[in-house]
Amino acid sequence: MALTVAELMSKMPKAFLPEKAPGLDAVIQFKFSGAEAGDWFATMKDGKCTTEKGTHPSPKMTLTADSADYVKIFTGELDGMQAFMAGKLKLAGDLNLAMKLLTMFKIR
C-alpha cells in the first residue's frame, strides 16, 4: 500500500540523519497539490527534525509538488532531479538546501 503524505511527513523526523546536516537551522515549506493537497513544513534545528501541518511564516526553501509525485520521490520510485527537470517539482529559496534534502533523510 502506498504511503500517504501525512504518513510520510510523520516519518520524516525518525528518518532525519543529523550527522548529514551539522549546524543546520532551516525550515522547509511543502505545498502539495493533487489527491492530498495541503501545506506542511519541516523544521530542522539542533540536530532534530519536526514536521507540522500548515504554513510557516519564513521558510528557507519552498518545495511545491503533486502529493503522489512527492511520495514517489521520497520513497525512491522517482528521481528528484528528473522530477525537477520535468517541472513536477518546483523549488524556491535556498536551492543548496534542496540538493542536501535527500541525503539528510534515510530513504526507506
61, 98 contact by CB (below 8 A): yes
Give yes or no for residue 105 having a pLDDT over 90: no
* Every domain of the chain and the residues it spans: 5-101
CATH topology of domain 5-101: Nonspecific Lipid-transfer Protein; Chain A (3.30.1050)
Structure confidence at residue 108 (pLDDT): 55
Q: What is the pLDDT of residues 24-78, one digit of tens each?
A: 999 999 999 999 999 999 999 999 999 999 999 999 999 999 999 998 988 889 9
In angstroms, rounded to a whole number, what is the distance separating the alpha carbons of residues 107 and 102?
A: 8
Distance of CA 77 to the CA centre of its chain: 15
Please tell me the distance from the alpha carbon of residue 28 to that of residue 19, in angstroms, as a whole number. 18
Q: Is 54 helix (H, G, I), strand (E, B) or coil?
A: coil
